[in-house]
Amino acid sequence: MTLDTAADPHAEVVPERPPRKRQKRRRRRGRLVDRPRTPVELELTGFAAGGVAMGRAPDGRIAFVEFGIPGERVIAEITSEESSYIEARTAMVLEESPERVEPRCEYYGRCGGCQLQHIAYGEQLRLKTGVVREQMRRIGRFEDTEVDAVLREMIGMTDPWAYRNHMRFTVRRDGDIGFMEHGTHRFLRVDHCEIAHPEANRVLRNAQGRTMQTKQLTVRVGEHSGESLVQPRLRWRPGRRGNVRSGQQHYHELLRGARYRVSSPAFFQVNSRQAERLIELVVARARAVEPRLVADAYSGVGTFAVALAQVVPYVVTIEASSAAGDDAEVNLAPYDNVRRITGTVEEQLPALNPQPDVVVVDPPRAGLDASIIETVVGSDVRRVVYVSCDPATLARDLRRFVDGGFTIGEMQPIDMFPHTQHIECITTLDRAG
């Protein structure tokens, strides 16, 4: 959560907004209906993690407001109340921010996939950078001057639409395809997604109303390879036009000239265009200290390891997922300077011999286990390149590294998920002295 960056940088610390609860509903005549929402007038003065604006309710409680923008005065409907804060949804804008734009998607506000389409893209980048800044101050307990010295402005996209190469749809028994409506258990049929890759939308269009043998439909697209993966295997009526191939076990994608095999259950970046920039930044920061050995922890299908193997003498990868490991075996086969280790980072990193000069970590949203940080602090590692998808756990972990003798060299946010609340950040840490 962050306060408005234009406001007093030493303003009060407010409580963290917890994960959004499902909207409470009550039963009337045998059916569930929404509870009435209480309207309240609010001045929005800040922006919080989760992609919501912030204000102060008339009774003094902090208000987290969906679909608002700092600087606006709105009528908001309260959707949830706690003793110290309320959650609300913008119902009417009384004084509009110059950064407010018309959302491109017809489902925006009902579908929960995007939170920021009502904000001009440049302002989205500024607000997201502000979230990183505030989490570093509030959770990491870093001073403003420390954060300002290392935090860079977020790297955005030239065209922040039609980028998402991995879509997971809900399928109803009648064959309709869509998502669950925002904050409810209601189904929302969707015929086109503005942030999805065109090939994913083509599959959606051709499968809509015709896919009744599954509850979920997964589409993965190789933007640069032209390949795709559709799961599960679908059955089509003979002679029908518009059928799509399905049931593939894997597909391939090309990033910075390298070919990656990706299996259905394996993780891969959902934005191929920004993934290339992410790889470029990670490799440059790892290579800058002229390491002999780089450890790629949480290595997945080898996204970073493939690029690192081309520019450093030796690479060791650590990955627990067997599916990702099978893909990595294929992707890393051309490189004889890579050693693959299957297992958890907690178990395998302390056992590495020789010890790496640089460790690249790309953990899940929960961040790093404290034991991993202790291992790195107690080792001969000179540099850590930390790729994070959650500013809160990143700030927590950076405090532990700094307390253990590392210094933060640079924090570079990169927008992997335009129009959504999600934030990716690459941080470089060096051993002090």
Q: What is the pLDDT of residues 73-121, one digit of tens each?
A: 999 999 999 999 999 999 999 999 999 999 999 999 999 999 999 999 9
Q: What is the pLDDT of residues 221-268, one digit of tens each?
A: 999 999 999 999 988 765 566 678 999 999 999 999 999 999 999 999
SS3 labels along 268-313: CCCEHHHHHHHHHHHHHHHHCCCCCEEEEECCCCCHHHHHHHCCCC
Task: Provide the pLDDT confidence category of residue 28 given band limits of 50, 70 and 90.
Answer: very low
> Quick one: DSSP state of residue 164?
B
> Quick one: DSSP state of residue 130?
H
Task: Determine the Cα angle at 29 with ends 27 and 32, to 5°.
Answer: 30
Ramachandran region of residue 143, left (φ > 0), alpha (ψ -120 to 50) or beta? beta
Residue 30: predicted pLDDT: 37
Residue 211: predicted pLDDT: 84
Dihedral Cα 374, 379, 385, 389, nearest 10 deg: -20
CB 170 within 8 A of CB 112: no
Residue 17: predicted pLDDT: 59
**What are the angstrom distances between the C-alpha of 20 and each of 86, 139, 187, 373?**
11, 20, 18, 30
Instruction: Supply the mean pLDDT for the chain.
Output: 91
Q: Are strands 358-361 and 383-388 parallel, antiparallel or unpaired?
A: parallel
**Greater confidence, 1 or 354?**
354
Residue 6: predicted pLDDT: 35
**Greater confidence, 310 or 5?**
310
- Bridge partner residues of 430 (DSSP): 383, 407
CB 233 within 8 A of CB 242: no
Give the Cβ contact number of residue 241 at 10 Å.
6
DSSP 86-119: EEEEEEEEEE--TTB---S-TTBTTBSS-S-TTB
- The single residue listed with the structure tokens 């039963």 is 27
Whole-prediction pTM: 0.91
Percent of the chain with pLDDT over 90: 86
> Quick one: DSSP state of residue 13?
P
Task: Determine the Cα angle at 411 with ends 410 and 413, to 5°.
Answer: 145
CB 164 within 8 A of CB 270: yes
CB 271 within 8 A of CB 247: no
Q: What is the pLDDT of residues 145-182, one digit of tens each?
A: 999 999 999 999 999 999 999 999 999 999 999 999 99
